[in-house]
Amino acid sequence: MNVRTLRFGLVIALLATAALFAGQATWLQAKATLAQWLIASAWQQTLIDRTPQRPWPWADTWPVARLQAPSGEVHYVLDSVSGEALAFGPGHLPASAAPGQPGTTLIAGHQDSHFAFLATLQGGDEIRLQAMDGREFAYRVADIRVVDSRQQPLSLQFELAELRLVTCYPFNSLQSGGPLRYVVSAWQI
């Protein structure tokens, strides 16, 4: 086998590997886009039927609210904060209050995707949340803080309608899952 044949084989192997990685990235992006479309469709059906609708038959979660950022950016909130659910969108902590109800409605999301917009929120900004029965609630950002989850666990209150959005901190970190949390508290208007 000569050097030229060896080089040609190496080039073909590298091109095939690059094509494989590019194809995998394209496939993941296509799945993510399709999932968002299916979740939005399930939300529309939920509003019509007034019962939770799974976005695909084998889904272990479903949309329970529609969250709108001050910029108009929309996210569908899923009925779980499991890692599998959070890959598709922000999740509602089931132990917290339902949207618009007295108490804390706690929604968690990934800081590098669905909750990246939290970094741009400021006190006084308005966040809108639509419940499964179609009612819409407006919340005004009252407090933004970074907490260490090892020293200050998140607590829920049960008197006033509060929306609390939580994500990992710092934003754009190369490591995920650290102890710091970015917590946005907003009170119903």
**What pLDDT digit, counting tens, does each position of 128-141 carry?**
999 999 999 999 99
pLDDT range class, residue 34, cuts 50, 70, 90: confident
Please state the separation of Cα 7 from the chain's center in Å. 46
**pLDDT above 60: residue 25:** no
Q: What is the pTM of this model?
A: 0.85
Query: Domains in the chain, start-ordered, CATH in brackets?
Result: 30-188 (2.40.260.10)
What's the N-to-C CA distance of the chain in angstroms?
77
pLDDT tier at 53, thresholds 50, 70, 90: very high
Tell me 184's DSSP state.
Answer: E
pLDDT at 45 > cutoff 80 = yes
Q: How far is CA 169 from CA 15, 122, 144, 175, in A?
A: 38, 16, 12, 10
Residues 6+ apart with CB under 8 A from 12: none
